[in-house]
Amino acid sequence: HPDKLALPVGTTLDRFIMRKQEDFPYATGELSQLLRDIALAAKIVNREINRSGLIDIAGAYGNRNVQGEDQQKLDVIANIRFIRALRNGGEVCTIISEEDEEVIQTGNVQGKYIVAIDPLDGSSNIDVNVSIGTIFSIYRRVSPTGGEGTRQDCLQTGTHQVAAGYVVYGSSTMLVYTTGNGVNGFTYEPSLGEFFLSHPNIQTPATGAIYSINEGASATFSAGTTAFVAYCKEQNYSARYIGSLVADFHRNLLKGGIYMYPASAKAPQGKLRLMYECNPLAFIVEQAGGKATSGRCRILEIEPHEMHQRSPVFIGSSELVEKAEQFLAQDNAS
Ligand code: P6P
């Protein structure tokens, strides 16, 4: 059926999810429902973000999250909204959230899925009107249903993700996700309350002329990182760094480029979290033809040992990541 091949631009997210589910004869609709639950929470958070400038909720909430960062009210609200949507949706048994040290057991003991989520990434940019984002990763539980999700359910390697995506709350709000069969982007139309397919089958350019890195820590970068950044400058690439991972990643995904958060003295394992930042974006970028490495190995093959562990990350156009790997090899040799 031709319609099965390429759904037209303008298809709603709901119809897209339904049609894609038909491609899986044994699908029972739970993952479809979970994706809808995430989209609903994204619409609600989008509205909160757009209103935050008007209502005094953008200011610091006063208490600090597990990352030791000032917890912004929107951070807290986004966390509450996504957890509520996932709990009420019934498909998720356990949630790993950037905002909570301990995993959240939803009470849905029959739920087949685990979600790792950064409800609102880029929180330092919230009250200066810079794009921010949500990043999520979905795993099927490995333990039998009927009980709470286990540590083994939560600490699966990135290759076991069944879906991953992000929402970028920018000049327009977009939802970009994969279920392992390509990457598709949907743009939100607030007046209709719908996401519409705007970027079907995203393929990231094999190379690019953009490098994204915070060079404030360059004095303590490894020799390999230092050499690769110098290479980018020799190539006259453009330095583009918004300071919001989702916004930097999304721009590079569409235009080509590489985003790096390497190890430094200040961040010996880098800053970004494996479970709900590196892994979901690595799944997406590989599905779009790109690559993601820690400098030592493919991000998706890192064995997780703790929920909030960090990893250095070099992610984006395949040729740029491969070039970075060539420079980074000297760090592994030493
Ligand atoms: P730095 C935001 O806090 C974040 O987690 C990512 O969104 C962003 O890419 C990175 O940290 C920015 O970190 O050290 O450059 O301020």
Predicted local confidence at residue 60, as pLDDT: 58
Phi-psi region of 260 (alpha: psi -120 to 50; beta: other; left: phi over 0): beta
Mean pLDDT of all residues belonging to the chain: 93
- Cα three-residue angle 241-57-102, rounded to 5 degrees: 75
User: Do the annotations mark residue 148 as ligand-binding?
Assistant: no
pLDDT of 95-152, one tens digit each? 999 999 999 999 999 999 999 999 999 978 877 889 999 999 999 999 999 999 999 9
Atom of ligand 1 nearest to the CA of 118: 5
Q: Annotated binding residue at 122? A: yes
Residue 323 in marked binding region: no
Q: Name which of 211, 61, 81, 182 is nearest 123 in CA terms.
A: 61
- Say what percent of the chain tops pLDDT 90: 82
State the pLDDT at residue 52: 77
22 — pLDDT class (breaks 50, 70, 90): confident
Q: Is 271 annotated as a binding residue?
A: yes
Which residues form ligand 1's pocket by a CB distance below 6 Å?
Answer: 121-124, 214, 243-245, 248, 271
* Ligand 1 center from residue 11 Cα (angstroms): 33
Nearest CA to ligand 1 atom 6: 245
Residue 81 pLDDT exceeds 60: yes
Q: What is the pLDDT of residues 111-121, one digit of tens each?
A: 999 999 999 99
Any bridge partners for residue 178, and if so which?
A: 164, 183
Q: Which atom of ligand 1 is nearest to the CA of 248?
A: 9
**What pLDDT sits at residue 175?**
98
Confidence band, pLDDT 50/70/90 cuts, at residue 2: very low
Supply the pLDDT for residue 5.
Answer: 58
List, as own/partner pairs, every contact residues 91-95 make where C-beta atoms lie below 8 angstroms and the sequence separation is at least 24, other chains included: 91/30, 91/31, 91/33, 91/34, 91/37, 92/34, 92/37, 93/141, 93/145, 93/148, 93/149, 93/153, 94/141, 94/148, 94/149, 94/153, 94/154
Please tell me the distance from the alpha carbon of residue 154 to that of residue 203, in angstroms, as a whole number. 29
212 CA from centroid of ligand 1 (Å): 11
CB atoms within 10 A of CB 173: 23
- Residue 325: the pLDDT is 98
The atom of ligand 1 lying closest to the CA of 133 is: 7
Ligand 1: residue of 64, 67, 121 to mutate (most ligand atoms within 8 A of CB) is: 121
Per-residue pLDDT for 90 more than 70?
yes
Q: What is the pLDDT of residues 282-319, one digit of tens each?
A: 999 999 999 999 999 999 999 999 999 999 999 999 99
* Residue 123 assigned as binding residue: yes
CA distance 260 to 212: 6
Packing angle of the helix pair 318-333, 223-234 (nearest 10 deg): 140
Output the CA 310–ligand 1 centroid distance in Å.
Answer: 13
Q: How far is the CA of 122 from the centre of ligand 1 (A)?
A: 6
Which residue's alpha carbon is nearest to atom 5 within ligand 1? 122
Which pLDDT score is estimated for 65? 62
Residue 48, marked binder: no
Residue-wise pLDDT tens digits, 242-265: 999 999 999 999 999 999 999 999
State which ligand 1 atom lies nearest to the alpha carbon of 246.
7
Q: Whose CA is nearest to atom 16 of ligand 1?
A: 243
What is the pairing mode between strands 210-212 and 258-261? parallel
Residue 120 assigned to a binding site: yes
Q: How far apart are CA 276 and CA 278, in angstroms?
A: 6
Q: Which atom of ligand 1 is nearest to the CA of 121?
A: 7
